[in-house]
Amino acid sequence: MQSIMDFLSFKTFISPYILIICYFIGAVIIPITSIFLVKWAKNKWIKSKYYSNLKNEILPPLKISQFIPLKIRLYSIIAAIILFISLEIMWRMLFEFLIAYLQIREALVSITNL
């Protein structure tokens, strides 16, 4: 009964547990959802009447390798991987700071209660 009263009076925080759940949502689900969203948008654009008109009237049937050299495509892939890893590290650091803040707060509250 005391733990319920502590929860209702904000003496016990649920933030550390919620932060861990939000971290995993952001680290796993958001990148996967982004990939599907980009694929969906690309397919929607390709199926649009503007792309088909442009493709039929202006652009000859060419492959992407004829537009962009292999070296630049490899650099783009490497840059995307480095960006992804950097963003994942920054996401992790953000949540570590938030959890550390809550731990510092609890330590300060316990010191003042002595």
- Max mean pLDDT range (2-16, 52-66, 85-99): 85-99
Dist. CA 30–CA 98, nearest whole Å: 20
Q: Read off the pLDDT band of 89 (50, 70, 90).
A: very high
Which of 53-57, 81-85, 110-114 is predicted least confidently? 53-57
Distance of CA 66 to the CA centre of its chain: 33
pLDDT in tens, 39-74: 888 777 666 666 666 666 565 555 656 677 888 889
Dist. CA 53–CA 50, nearest whole Å: 5
User: At 92, which amino acid appears?
Assistant: R
pLDDT in tens, 12-48: 777 888 888 999 999 999 899 989 998 888 777 666 6
Helix (H, G, I), strand (E, B) or coil at 68: coil
- Residue 86 has a pLDDT of 94
